[in-house]
Structure 1
Amino acid sequence: MDTVEISDDVIRLGQFLKLANLAESGAQARDLVADGEVSVNGEVDTRRGRQLHRGDVVEVDAPTGRRGATVG
């Protein structure tokens, strides 16, 4: 699993999905979150605006398998 560095102390889930290349666009990030296909630290989260902190693990259920990244 890759670690994706952020410049601030926190980042919103929707932004992180794009930054980590787990979503191709903001619209896709919104759909993934709304459909319950995104988990943070092992728990499904449907809040696109959730604030992530360093060390949080984000995973996405994709058609090609589960992919993820750690906030760094």
Structure 2
Amino acid sequence: MALTRDRIRQDVADVLGEEPEDIADDENLADLGLDSVRIMTLVERWRREGATIAFVELAEEPSVENWWALLKERV
């Protein structure tokens, strides 16, 4: 499956136990309970799909919008 904005949202929802439609693009994912362990889960998942991303890049600005801006050029 290709890494898209919707896929990022789906993966985040999966690790948080939320519905994708409940996660806004600009919402701070830390406020929803996203912690470092879950971020590492996402990093590893996306690396397996070919994305070149580091934990610190995701941790600095945890939102679907920011992550998509980082990842869309790196897959």
Please give the TM-score of this superposition, normalised by the length of structure 2: 0.32
Q: Which structure has the highest helix share of the two?
A: 2
Q: Which structure has the highest strand share of the two?
A: 1
Please give the TM-score of this superposition, normalised by the length of structure 1: 0.33
